[in-house]
């Protein structure tokens, strides 16, 4: 059977989607994707763009500057027109769905070498842009229970997650991310970006904007609930939720024997992947059935997983999902997660895969199996299991 390996993985620093304070505020999606394509090609000179079998880019909001994001970015870089480009949409799992598509294409012998990743610009293409809900949905679901924050509240209520647990989880996300950055752990995966601001000044951004070394449990506890009145809320706040972000991530996936022939190194190979649906009012539980399906396909149990990267949209869903899967929190998001680092929707499936690859080739060289998993808006989940390539 043909095998799929990760030859390289990079990402941008992740910025806040803030029109005045965002580190990446003057950049748009094609700027970020093109920077990563250039980086992959520069880091891997044996890879010629004309020899690629395609580029797949996940993106949740494919409008504005993110319309036709894969093909238009490729063409805008002056790269060979015969290389196809595909944009993939599965909300927060867009990039992971793209990874699954490429893995399947390689296994099915449709190609040997692909660039695959995701991007999201939540500043210039904000959530809710030109969205119209199909009225039929209201016949089956309460539209007021479907917004992401409301689902996080329901998960906390349904799975008995306390405010204290959520705040602690959010706090630890920041502390782990700051420690990882200070120790230089992200250096190899993050591509610095030169940003020109409105006044003409330039700055090289080489670090995620979100992680806060000055955060404390006490500060977390002072934050008011973000989605419900205090008397109705289980305690979902801005401190234990992921922010709005700008960012992108990209991987070079190849058929294993092709990589070997080209003398390219790798650490992880694709083991299995799965997507699953859940009640959309508790959409954050999507990682549970999707991970269980991926584990079953791989012939593994939850105890076999050594390292986990979960998107961390909300502390409530991360805690509940890991608990339901029977995976200790100590195995998850070793370098911080989406609450601190950021959660640029369609990019996150690739971002957590890039970081999982980094962790397993540095800090956790002893780890055999890694799981990357996400919840997905409107009640879905996606998961991918990677195995150390011997």
Q: Supply the DSSP string of 150-214, one letter for each residue.
A: HHHHHHHHHTT--HHHHHHHHHHHHHHHHHHHHTTTTTTTB--EEEE-TTS-EEEE-S-S---TT
Catalytic member of 92, 124, 174, 178: 92
User: 88: which strand partners?
Assistant: 58
The H-assigned helical ranges of the chain are 29-43, 69-76, 94-107, 148-158, 163-182, 217-222, 256-261, 287-298, 315-325, 338-341, 348-361
pLDDT at 145: 86
In the three-class reduction of DSSP (H, G, I as helix; E, B as strand; rest coil), residue 54 is classed as strand
pLDDT at 312: 97
Closest CA to 350 of 305, 300, 386: 386
Q: Is the dihedral of CA 177, 180, 183, 189 positive or negative?
A: negative
What is the Cα–Cα distance from 28 to 20, expressed in whole angstroms? Answer: 15
pLDDT at 309: 99
pLDDT at 137: 85
In the three-class reduction of DSSP (H, G, I as helix; E, B as strand; rest coil), residue 272 is classed as strand
- Whether the CB-CB separation of 36 and 248 falls below 8 Å is answered with yes
pLDDT at 302: 99
The torsion of the CA quartet 274, 177, 20, 13, rounded to 10 degrees, works out to -60
CB atoms within 10 A of CB 72: 17
For the chain, what are the domain ranges?
A: 4-125+243-261
Q: Is 92 among the residues known to form the active site?
A: yes
Q: 4-125+243-261: what fold?
A: Peroxisomal Thiolase; Chain A, domain 1 (3.40.47)
Q: Which helix (H) or strand (E) holds 388?
A: strand 380-388
List the chain residues with pLDDT less than 70. Answer: 127-131
Q: Is 178 among the residues known to form the active site?
A: no
Instruction: Express each pLDDT in 144-167 by its tens digit.
Output: 889 999 999 999 999 999 999 999
pLDDT at 275: 99
Q: Is 59 among the residues known to form the active site?
A: no
Global pTM?
0.97
β-pair type (369-376, 113-121)? unpaired
pLDDT at 139: 87
Catalytic member of 100, 124, 174, 343: 343
């Amino acid at each position: 059977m043909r095998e799929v390996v990760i030859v390289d993985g990079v990402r941008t620093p992740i910025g806040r989607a803030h029109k005045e304070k965002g580190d990446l505020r003057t950049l748009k999606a094609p700027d970020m994707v093109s920077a990563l394509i250039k980086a992959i090609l520069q880091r891997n000179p044996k890879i010629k763009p004309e020899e690629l079998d395609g580029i797949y880019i996940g993106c949740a909001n494919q409008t504005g500057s993110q319309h036709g994001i894969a093909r238009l970015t490729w063409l805008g870089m002056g790269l060979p027109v015969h290389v196809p480009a595909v944009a993939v949409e599965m909300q927060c799992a867009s990039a992971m769905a793209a990874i699954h598509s490429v893995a399947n294409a390689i296994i099915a012998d449709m190609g040997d070498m692909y660039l695959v990743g995701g991007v999201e610009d939540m500043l210039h293409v904000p959530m809710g842009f030109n969205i119209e809900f199909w009225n039929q949905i209201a016949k089956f679901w309460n539209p007021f229970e479907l917004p992401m924050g409301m689902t996080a509240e329901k998960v906390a209520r349904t799975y008995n997650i306390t405010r204290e647990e959520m705040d602690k989880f959010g706090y630890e996300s920041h502390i782990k991310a700051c420690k990882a950055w200070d120790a230089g752990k992200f250096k190899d995966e993050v591509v610095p970006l030169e940003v020109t601001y409105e006044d003409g000044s330039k700055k090289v951004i080489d670090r995620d904007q979100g992680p806060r070394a000055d955060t404390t449990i006490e500060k977390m506890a002072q934050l008011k609930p973000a989605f419900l009145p205090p008397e109705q809320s289980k305690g979902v706040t801005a401190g234990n939720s992921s922010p709005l972000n700008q960012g992108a991530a990209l991987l070079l996936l190849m058929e294993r024997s092709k990589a070997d022939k080209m003398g390219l190194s790798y650490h992880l190979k694709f083991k299995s992947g799965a997507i699953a649906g859940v009640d959309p009012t508790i959409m954050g539980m999507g990682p549970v059935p999707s991970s269980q399906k991926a584990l079953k396909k791989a012939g593994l149990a939850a105890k076999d997983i050594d390292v986990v990267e979960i998107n961390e949209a909300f502390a409530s869903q991360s805690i509940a999902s890991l608990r339901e899967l029977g995976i200790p929190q100590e195995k998850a998001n070793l370098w911080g997660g989406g609450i601190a680092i950021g959660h640029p929707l369609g990019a996150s499936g690739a971002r957590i895969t890039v970081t999982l690859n980094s962790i397993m080739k540095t800090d956790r060289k002893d780890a055999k199996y890694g799981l990357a998993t996400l919840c997905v808006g409107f009640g879905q989940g996606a998961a991918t299991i990677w195995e150390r390539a011997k």
